[in-house]
């Protein structure tokens, strides 16, 4: 995640009820003999777990079960993320970078951020890299190209079914992706497949995505810390600065290059279709924010 020669001290934070199980995880991690894993600590005390940490990956949340909407989990999980935000505020390294994976990730990140007022707002992000990777995989399969030829997918908005997976800027082997695929495939297959992928995995497995989510979390932190791939960008939920007309402060997924949000390039893409999709996911985020207003 941080490079092949960067040793990592891993602090695992678990609820007390799972403190025996976490010891099994510690044993397995040790048994992996990872070259970069220096030290592991397991605790159920957030102030110990986050002490001086440089990277916080907030993956623990009540998982969504079959038929549950992410919004049902909002209040349940909001308590976890306000407590974790407070602990980060109190004890984390002042340069901490926070990735929220637990759903609803964008709003959980907002809650943690608002409960950590002494940390810079741009240190709180939400994971839409999983959706981004899903988009790359779909386009790779459709185009038959090698993965490294597929670039510049963008996930806009919320890590939910309202997200807008956008191919207007995507390229395959340097050619515009939308010149290689039917627009009906883009609108009727690509967009709903990426939007619904999490639910499809839950339906198939009876439990949420795990390996793909873990891989995306590593990608997210790696590229945030070490830089985005040359000639490409990634997608990341970050605190909106008002660009693209998204209300300031909402944790919204944008295309992300290094640590700098790109400016909107007028004239690229279908300007009627795109804003409507971007606003639909924005509306959901505002509703979610409204649902947790007492915690932020």
Contact region with ligand LMR (CB under 6 A), list: 42-50, 139-147, 205-213, 267-275: 205-213
Q: How far apart are CA 11 and CA 39, in angstroms?
A: 8
Joined together, the tokens standing for residue 111 give: 């809650």
Residue 220 lies near ligand LMR (rule: CB under 6 A): no
Nearest residue to ligand LMR, by Cβ distance, number only: 198
Q: Which is nearer to ligand LMR, 115 or 133 (CB)?
A: 133
Residue 163 lies near ligand LMR (rule: CB under 6 A): no
Peptide bond into 104 cis (omega under 30): yes
| Residues labelled as active-site residues | 159
Q: Which is nearer to ligand LMR, 128 or 171 (CB)?
A: 128
Q: How far apart are CA 216 and CA 131, in angstroms?
A: 9
Residue 193 lies near ligand LMR (rule: CB under 6 A): no
Residue 195 lies near ligand LMR (rule: CB under 6 A): no
Strands 97-100 and 124-126: parallel
Which residues inside 28-67 make contact with ligand LMR, applying CB under 6 A? 63-64
The least CB distance from residue 159 to ligand LMR, in Å, is 6
Tell me, what DSSP letter sits at residue 247? P
The least CB distance from residue 213 to ligand LMR, in Å, is 6
The least CB distance from residue 130 to ligand LMR, in Å, is 5
Count residues binding ligand LMR (CB under 6 A): 10
Residue 103 lies near ligand LMR (rule: CB under 6 A): yes
Q: Do the beta carbons of residue 13 and residue 46 sit within 8 Å?
A: yes
What secondary structure does DSSP assign to 98-122, as a single string?
EEE-SSSHHHHHHHHHHT-TTS-GG
| Dihedral sign of CA atoms 172, 178, 179, 185 in order | positive
Residue 209 lies near ligand LMR (rule: CB under 6 A): yes
Q: Which is nearer to ligand LMR, 87 or 217 (CB)?
A: 217
Residue 25 lies near ligand LMR (rule: CB under 6 A): no
Q: From the list 49, 56, 70, 178, which residue makes contact with ligand LMR (rule: CB under 6 A)?
A: 70
- Dihedral Cα 156, 159, 160, 165, nearest 10 deg: 30
The least CB distance from residue 208 to ligand LMR, in Å, is 3
Strands 251-257 and 260-261: antiparallel
Q: How far apart are CA 77 and CA 102, in angstroms?
A: 8
Joined together, the tokens standing for residue 44 give: 């159920």
Q: How far apart are CA 203 and CA 60, in angstroms?
A: 21
Residue 201 lies near ligand LMR (rule: CB under 6 A): yes
Q: Do the beta carbons of residue 204 and residue 197 sit within 8 Å?
A: no
Residue 198 lies near ligand LMR (rule: CB under 6 A): yes
Which residue ranges make up the site for ligand LMR (CB under 6 A)?
A: 63-64, 70, 103, 130, 198, 201, 208-209, 213
């Amino acid at each position: 995640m941080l490079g092949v020669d960067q040793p990592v001290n891993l602090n695992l934070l678990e609820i007390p009820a799972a403190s025996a199980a976490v010891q099994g995880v510690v044993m397995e991690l040790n048994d992996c003999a990872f070259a970069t894993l220096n030290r592991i600590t397991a605790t159920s005390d957030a102030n110990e777990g986050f002490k001086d940490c440089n990277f916080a990956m907030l993956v623990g949340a009540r998982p969504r079960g079959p038929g549950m909407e992410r919004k049902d989990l909002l209040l349940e999980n909001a308590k976890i993320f306000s407590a974790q935000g407070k602990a980060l505020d109190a004890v984390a390294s002042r340069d901490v970078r926070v990735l929220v994976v637990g759903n609803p990730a964008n709003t959980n990140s907002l809650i943690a951020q608002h409960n950590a007022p002494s940390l810079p707002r741009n240190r709180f992000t939400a994971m839409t890299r999983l959706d981004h990777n899903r988009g790359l995989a779909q386009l790779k399969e459709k185009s038959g190209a090698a993965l490294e030829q597929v670039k510049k997918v963008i996930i806009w908005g919320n890590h939910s079914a309202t997200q807008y997976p956008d191919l207007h800027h995507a390229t395959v082997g340097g050619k515009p992706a939308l010149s290689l695929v039917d627009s009906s495939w883009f609108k009727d297959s690509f967009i709903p497949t990426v939007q619904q992928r999490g639910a499809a995995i839950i339906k198939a497995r009876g439990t949420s995505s795990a390996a793909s989510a873990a891989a995306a979390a590593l990608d997210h932190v790696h590229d945030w810390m070490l830089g985005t791939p040359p000639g490409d960008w990634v997608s990341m939920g970050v605190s909106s600065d008002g660009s693209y007309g998204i209300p300031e402060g909402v944790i919204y997924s944008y295309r992300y290059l290094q640590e700098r949000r790109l400016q909107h390039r007028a004239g690229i893409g279908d300007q009627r279709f795109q804003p409507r999709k971007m606003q639909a996911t924005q509306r959901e985020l505002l509703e979610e924010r409204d649902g947790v207003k007492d915690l932020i």
